[in-house]
């Protein structure tokens, strides 16, 4: 490997054996020096959880002769990024990519997603980061169709550099390569999950629940990620981790806080 190759950290939330991360490793190996640190089991919907009340284990699972260094980790996606940066990588990586997620992380899903939280964690640590997701939950989803786009987006980010304190949330429609219309910069659609818990009983008669829900998008804006995906485009949403609602400051300051 030449010294000029970028150092790329890869993680995900579906676990290190998921086909989605394998596709991402394929593409990134064409671009840079790759190190993989990913959960040893599925960690979907873990959000920005970190492990503070339990121990963390790392297992080196690549052989010395393998071209890519791979570690599985007992923690969450965010733990993986923290351990990679502090315990495995010899220098700060040039890029962190997370995914390719099996299923959508568009709209409000960005908040629940372990895939995106790993990218956000890298962003917080000053590492350019992209989360990739395909709108197909199938374990055998067709990742080949989107590999050229993943490569294009990654190359563009490495060349131009991301705006400060911004990471990218990239979602792909479930389409064949030649059906995809292009890439659109979007805003996060204002949508939510409306829950319908599935209430069941254990064999012993105790009630329990399964979280189930329906995704409801009432945001009809044509500048949203949902619109782009429904219309055959790849959505790219710039995501920030300053959660301050700056627009609300003035109104709140007009209240009688200190009387």
Residues in 177-196 at the binding interface with a second copy, rule: CB under 8 A: 182-183, 185, 187-188, 190, 192, 195-196
Scanning 16-24, 31-39, 63-71, 250-258 for contacts with a second copy by CB under 8 A, the matching segment is 250-258
Instruction: For a second copy, give the closer residue by CB, 5 or 200.
Output: 200
Query: How far is it, in rounded angstroms, from Cα 79 to Cα 69?
Result: 18
When binding is defined by CB under 8 A, the residue of 6, 22, 45, 217 that contacts a second copy is 45
Our finding on whether 97 is near a second copy (CB under 8 A) is no
Q: How many residues bind a second copy (CB under 8 A)?
A: 76
In total, the chain counts a number of residues equal to 259
Only one residue has tokens 């990471």, namely 167
When binding is defined by CB under 8 A, the residue of 30, 57, 148, 232 that contacts a second copy is 57
Residues in 209-228 at the binding interface with a second copy, rule: CB under 8 A: 209-211
Our finding on whether 44 is near a second copy (CB under 8 A) is yes
Assess contact for 172 and 141: CB atoms under 8 A: no
Phi, psi of 37 (to 5 degrees): -135, 105
Kind and range of the H or E element at 149? Answer: helix 147-160
Q: Which residues pair with 176 in a beta bridge?
A: none
Our finding on whether 256 is near a second copy (CB under 8 A) is yes
When binding is defined by CB under 8 A, the residue of 20, 32, 39, 47 that contacts a second copy is 47
CA quadruple 213, 76, 162, 70: dihedral sign: negative
When binding is defined by CB under 8 A, the residue of 112, 142, 147, 230 that contacts a second copy is 112
Residue 101 assigned to a binding site: yes
Query: How far is it, in rounded angstroms, from Cα 208 to Cα 9?
Result: 39
Query: How far is it, in rounded angstroms, from Cα 62 to Cα 71?
Result: 7
Give the residue ranges of the annotated binding site for a divalent metal cation: 13-14, 44, 101
């Amino acid at each position: 490997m030449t010294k000029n190759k970028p150092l790329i950290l890869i993680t995900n939330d579906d676990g290190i054996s998921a086909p989605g991360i394998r596709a991402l490793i394929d593409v990134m190996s064409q671009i840079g020096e790759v190190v993989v640190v990913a959960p040893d089991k599925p960690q979907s919907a873990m959000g920005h959880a970190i492990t503070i009340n339990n121990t963390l284990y790392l297992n080196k699972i690549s052989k010395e002769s393998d071209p890519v260094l791979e570690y599985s980790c007992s923690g969450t996606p965010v733990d993986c990024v923290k351990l990679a940066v502090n315990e495995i990588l010899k220098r700060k990586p040039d890029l962190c990519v997370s995914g390719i997620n099996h299923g959508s992380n568009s709209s409000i899903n960005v908040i629940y997603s372990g895939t995106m939280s790993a990218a956000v964690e890298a962003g917080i640590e000053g590492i350019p980061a992209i989360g990739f997701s395909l709108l197909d939950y199938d374990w055998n989803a067709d990742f080949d169709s989107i590999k050229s786009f993943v490569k294009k987006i990654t190359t563009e980010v490495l060349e131009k550099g991301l705006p400060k304190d911004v990471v990218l949330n990239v979602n792909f429609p479930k389409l064949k390569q030649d059906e995809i219309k292009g890439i659109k910069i979007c805003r996060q659609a204002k949508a939510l999950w409306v829950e319908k818990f599935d209430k069941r009983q254990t064999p012993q008669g105790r009630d329990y629940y399964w979280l189930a829900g329906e995704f409801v998008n009432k945001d009809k804006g044509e500048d949203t990620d949902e619109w782009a995906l429904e219309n055959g485009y790849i959505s790219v949403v710039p995501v920030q981790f300053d959660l301050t609602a700056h627009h609300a400051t003035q109104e709140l300051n007009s209240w009688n806080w200190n009387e």
